[in-house]
């Protein structure tokens, strides 16, 4: 491995950590950066243990800031989605999943814009039926293409949670999702002893990124924070729609 790979791996690892510190808008950068040098599946496998390591620190950072009701609904729902993805992964074209997730994110943003133009600012409370559907989609798409964010955001953003509660809920939920994804990733050969040796070198950057992300999240004004979240959701959605539309060849 040359210097360019290690620089890209270090940068991707730092961004992974920042996303677990409360800045989900940078999570989309990790796999694409590494995919310049290695296959996307290998990049996802290399970064998954980094997510898990940063998750542990993220859970500590947000131990007092999360929505228990949302977690009680979403954790079982994401487990269902991961199980379905594991059982049917060979029958589901990845481009189709990307199109679905991109459409979900874009659909939410269009609906949010429509409500803003109508000046409809009412918060929508957490509820079990919607939570089970969106949570299962988040687990399913996270397993297939590391794209669980848009379904999660489509469910939680309308609740208008405080920024630290939103960030903490996301961090703790996807920590659980990543732990549930680890055994099938090992079975698929995406996490190997070789990747674990690379992870040992990069681990401090994941923790530094998580700490940095937490500090920036606390510092950002709430309106700016959610503007960035929505901007990131738009970018991820457009990226997934493009990849889905061009990935059938």
Which residue did the predictor score with more confidence, 146 or 65? 65
Question: Span 231-246, mean pLDDT?
Answer: 80
Question: Span 6-26, mean pLDDT?
Answer: 78
In sequence order, the 6+-apart residues with CB closer than 8 A to the CB of 95 are 243, 244, 245, 246, 247, 248
Q: Which 3 state secondary structure label does DSSP give 18?
A: helix
Range of the domain at 239: 3-246
pTM: predicted TM-score of the whole model, two decimal places = 0.79
pLDDT tens digits for range 120-179? 677 788 889 999 999 998 998 888 766 788 889 889 988 989 989 998 999 899 999 989
For residues 165 and 176, give the distance between their C-alpha atoms in angstroms, rounded to a whole number.
17
pLDDT of residue 125: 86
Cα 202 → chain centroid: 20
pLDDT tens digits for range 78-132? 999 998 888 887 677 777 777 877 787 788 788 777 777 777 677 788 889 999 9
Domain total of the chain: 1
């Amino acid at each position: 491995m040359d210097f360019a790979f290690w620089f890209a791996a270090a940068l991707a690892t730092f961004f992974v950590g920042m996303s677990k510190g409360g800045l989900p808008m940078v999570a989309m950068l990790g796999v694409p950066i590494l995919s310049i040098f290695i296959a996307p599946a290998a990049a996802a496998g290399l970064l998954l243990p980094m997510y898990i390591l940063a998750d542990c620190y993220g859970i500590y950072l947000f131990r007092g800031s999360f929505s228990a009701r949302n977690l009680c609904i979403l954790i079982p729902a994401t487990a269902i989605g991961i199980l379905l993805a594991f059982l049917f992964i060979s029958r589901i074209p990845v481009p189709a999943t990307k199109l679905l997730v991109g459409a979900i994110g874009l659909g939410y943003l269009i609906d949010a814009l429509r409500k803003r133009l109508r000046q409809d600012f009412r918060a929508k409370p957490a509820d079990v039926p919607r939570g089970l559907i969106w949570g299962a989609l988040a687990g399913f798409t996270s397993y297939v293409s590391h794209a669980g964010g848009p379904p999660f955001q489509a469910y939680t953003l309308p609740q208008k949670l405080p920024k630290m509660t939103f960030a903490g809920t996301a961090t703790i939920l996807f920590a659980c999702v990543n732990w549930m994804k680890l055994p099938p990733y090992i079975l698929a050969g995406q996490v190997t002893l070789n990747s674990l040796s690379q992870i040992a070198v990069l681990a401090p950057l994941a923790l530094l990124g998580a700490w940095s992300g937490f500090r920036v999240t606390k510092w950002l004004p709430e309106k700016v924070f959610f503007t960035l979240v929505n901007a990131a959701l738009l970018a991820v959605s457009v990226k997934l729609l493009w990849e889905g539309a061009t990935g059938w060849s």
